[in-house]
Amino acid sequence: MSDRNRRTILMIVFSEVRYDGRVLRTAEALARDYDVILSGLGDCPICLETRIRYLQVCIPSSPRWLSHVFFFVKTILIGLRVQPDIVHAHDYFVVLHGWIIAKMNRAVCIYDAHEFLPGIKERSHVRHWLFASLERISINRYDMIIATSEERAQVLRDYYSLREPPVVVKNFSSVEEYTLESDTESFEYPIEDILEQGLPLVVYQGDMNIHSRCLDNLLRAFVGLQDKCILIMAGDGPDLDHLQKLSDVLELQGYVFFTGKLPKGHLMTIMRAASVGVVIYSNKETNNLLCTPNKIHEYVQAGLAVVASNQPPLVQMLGVCSIGEIFVPEESDSIRRAILKVLSHLENYRINIPEFLAHYSWDDEKQKLLKAYKSLKKFRCC
């Protein structure tokens, strides 16, 4: 049972929680001082030591619009049952949910803006218009806004005329994370079979989305890299089938492997066996130009050098500590050159990893988060 001297936080997110590092890190950091109830999609085996209670929201997988409706209704019911003191809404899918739950419970409401939604080009214009409208309606009703970078915070404040600047909590991962129980799935990707080829591994992990990630260019970059390295594509997304077919057309069989979505423990096994991690975003979206991806830290913590696309925050990060090379995501030749350069001087980049991890620390961001929460002096009706 909750200690009523501790405030209760209801944290909601429309995603598979076990794969969402930012949500898990935020919940784990706050659980030391608050009773955290985390509600989202999918199974999420939370360690008992973290004192986080997880409530899985079960919804139909399709159609997509119906899944959002079910999630809305079920999270509102959870909010009525839990009666939280604070509601922490993660990402734009739940911006309306969080405010309504807070309103019903006279709770403090916090919006964690993972993205700059107006700067995203969605495939569905109707879906994008809907969530953009909901964010516009709701965002100024929140007591506190959190952003992932100073650049995103400024853009959000200017675009929505926010009363207060968002609190910046950057998207860095922790060197040691204990939020989830160890993976118990019997399936493990057969990485040993790939390693027997004796070639260095280059790994991309993330959304299989050609439009926002330029992954077709990443595959084309590997034409000419056969016999030099192997590419592991880990993740799921709308363009997975297309990318697999493109790989076949480019005759990359035996040099490019698609794993699908993997539990974190299995993913870390692959990354520890790799040499280079790929961070790639298109320059066609404003949101991408403001990106501060968590995956760069996961690569570095696994001991990988990095090749990254040329968005300003990534250029700045690699400029502070030389852990890899920058490329132009729209040019496959540029991607290829960056990979070859890093593979040729791998240890020169890896030697800078400790400095990078010391400079970009989740411990510092966690303290910002806790300080922001402690600044919430009183509750008010939203």
Average pLDDT of span 351-364: 92
Average pLDDT of span 219-235: 94
Taking the C-alpha atoms of residue 298 and residue 173, their distance in angstroms, rounded to an integer, is: 7
| 125 vs 48, residue with greater confidence | 125
pLDDT of residue 18: 85
Helix (H) or strand (E) holding 315: helix 312-320
Please check whether residue 157 lies inside any domain of the structure. Answer: yes
**pLDDT over 70 percentage in the chain:** 92
- Would the pLDDT of 184 be above 80? no
Look up the CATH number of the domain holding residue 258.
Answer: 3.40.50.2000
* Structural domain containing residue 131: 8-172+362-374
- Would the pLDDT of 268 be above 80? yes
Residues 251, 162 within the same domain:
no
pLDDT of residue 176: 53
Residues 289, 307 within the same domain:
yes
> CA torsion, points 253, 254, 259, 264, in degrees to nearest 10?
-150
Please check whether residue 46 lies inside any domain of the structure. Answer: yes
The token pair that represents 233 in the structure block: 């594509």
Residues 257, 350 within the same domain:
yes
Please check whether residue 71 lies inside any domain of the structure. Answer: yes
Please check whether residue 186 lies inside any domain of the structure. Answer: no
Residues 293, 355 within the same domain:
yes
Reported as a single tens digit per residue, the pLDDT across 58-108 is 998 778 889 999 999 999 999 999 999 999 999 999 999 999 999 999 999
| 122 vs 196, residue with greater confidence | 196
Highest mean predicted confidence (pLDDT) among 47-51, 224-228, 247-251, 354-358: 247-251
| Contact partners, residue 164, CB within 8 Å, separation at least 6 | 144, 145
pLDDT of residue 380: 45
> Closest Cα to residue 137, out of 108, 119, 111?
111
Count of beta carbons in the 10 Å neighbourhood of residue 329: 24
Helix (H) or strand (E) holding 267: helix 264-273
pTM of the predicted structure, to 2 decimals:
0.87
Residues 284, 197 within the same domain:
yes
Average pLDDT of span 203-228: 94
